[in-house]
């Protein structure tokens, strides 16, 4: 039993070391996620994969693209997804830990993406493509 616990702790530690928290992300090129392997790609306006780890941008909420409730939500979500791809590929940024929790209920790492002292999430909010995360989802339709 102790061996199993040690192996689980070792696996968790190796995943944390692969996650580029606070690291300069200038060497990674992100594309839109497709089916299959998800190493470095954009899922939607507030979710991406980095080094094989799923990241939820913790300081914002964007509309859904996978199961939208109306056409306007889908269109806004698609726009936010493309814009996030542009922003993360525009230059170096860092991933910073979210206050309070490391993961959401879906197992995604909670991170704030920061470039030059400004949250990339805030950039999406200022462009009308996201909302500041208030702890609860709000309808987009």
Q: Which domains does the chain have, with CATH numbers?
A: 2-132 (2.40.50.90)
pLDDT at position 132 is: 97
How far is it, in rounded angstroms, from Cα 109 to Cα 112?
10
Lookup: tokens for 3: 């061996």
Question: DSSP secondary structure string, 70-100?
Answer: SHHHHHHHHHHHHHHHHHHTSS--EEEEPSS
pLDDT at position 8 is: 35
Per-residue pLDDT of the chain (141 residues; tens, 9 = 90+): 333 333 333 333 333 334 455 556 667 899 999 887 799 999 999 999 999 999 999 999 999 898 999 999 999 999 999 999 999 999 999 999 998 899 999 999 999 999 999 999 999 999 999 999 988 889 999
pLDDT at position 100 is: 82
How far is it, in rounded angstroms, from Cα 94 to Cα 28?
12
pLDDT at position 5 is: 36
Please give the positions annotated as active site: 56, 64, 108
Burial (CB count within 10 angstroms: exposed 0-12, middle 13-18, buried 19+), residue 2: exposed
């Amino acid at each position: 039993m102790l061996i199993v616990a040690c192996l689980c702790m070792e696996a968790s530690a190796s995943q944390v070391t692969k996650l580029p928290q606070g690291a300069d992300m200038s060497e990674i090129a992100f594309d839109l996620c497709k089916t299959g392997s998800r190493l470095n790609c954009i899922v939607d306006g507030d979710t991406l994969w980095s080094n094989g780890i799923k990241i939820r941008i913790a300081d914002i909420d964007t509309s859904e693209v996978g199961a939208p409730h109306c056409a306007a939500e889908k269109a806004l979500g698609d726009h936010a997804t493309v814009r996030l791809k542009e922003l993360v590929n525009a230059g170096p940024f860092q991933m910073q830990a979210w206050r309070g929790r490391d993961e959401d209920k879906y197992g995604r790492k909670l991170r704030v993406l920061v470039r030059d002292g400004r949250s990339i999430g805030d950039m999406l909010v200022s462009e009308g493509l996201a909302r500041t995360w208030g702890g609860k989802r709000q309808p987009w339709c």
